[in-house]
Amino acid sequence: MTKIAITGKIGSGKSTALKHFKKLGHFTISSDEIIKEIYNDREQRECLLKILEIRDRDYKKEIIKKIQDPVFNNKLKKSIYPLMHRLRARKKPTFFTKKNIFFEIPLLFEEKLEKDYDIIIFIKANYHVRLKRILKKGMTEKYFKTMDSYQSADGPKENYSHITIFNNGSSMDFLDSLHRCEKIL
């Protein structure tokens, strides 16, 4: 089983790529889905919010508001990352398979997780294309800028990735790129 990380900045197309590989029959694990799972589990959510000193009511808005504070952001990471790691490990197949397993890891390089994966795919899209995608999903420009600020520059990510896929064009162009990528894996 080959462990493949998909990384890229907010709005680059990581989730779309993960869905594509899942449709092709590969195992996939989404960081976004793991976070949703944590927040949807009442016990885990209450424990996390207690550590973060946030009320359960409107907790998403509170987290987004406070995430710009480096002290809060560090506290959030120290609290949520161990949970995510455990859930990610639980979701991995425990049996031998020749299939690839794709992980969506937005902050792969920022959190120094690249050594955990056999192959790294970096999805790159320019700032304005990514912003447009995020706004289309109903998120705000402020949220986009906040999340974008926590992600490091593209250059080093490209240099340390095995494959870079550019996603500035149409969705059909992106899917074609993903098909070509899968053929070389």
* Confidence label for 123 from pLDDT (cuts 50, 70 and 90): very high
Element (H, E) at 178: helix 171-184
pLDDT tops 70 at residue 95: no
**Could you report the per-residue pLDDT of 62-85, keeping only the tens digit for each?**
998 898 888 998 899 999 998 998
Query: Domains plus CATH for the chain?
Result: 1-27+101-109+120-185 (3.40.50.300), 31-94 (no CATH)
Rounded Cα distance between 185 and 178, Å, is 11
Mean pLDDT of 13-28: 94
**Could you report the per-residue pLDDT of 29-62, keeping only the tens digit for each?**
999 999 999 999 999 999 999 999 999 888 988 9
pTM: 0.88
Angle at 40 between CA 34 and CA 45, to 5 degrees: 95
pLDDT tops 70 at residue 97: no
| Three-state DSSP class for residue 165 | strand
* Confidence label for 148 from pLDDT (cuts 50, 70 and 90): very high
- Which residue type is seen at 41? D
> At CB < 8 A and 24+ separation, what contacts does 127-135 make?
129/11, 129/167, 129/168, 130/9, 130/10, 130/11, 130/12, 131/11, 132/11, 133/11, 133/13, 134/10, 134/11
Which range (12-21, 27-36, 82-91, 115-124) has the least confidence?
82-91
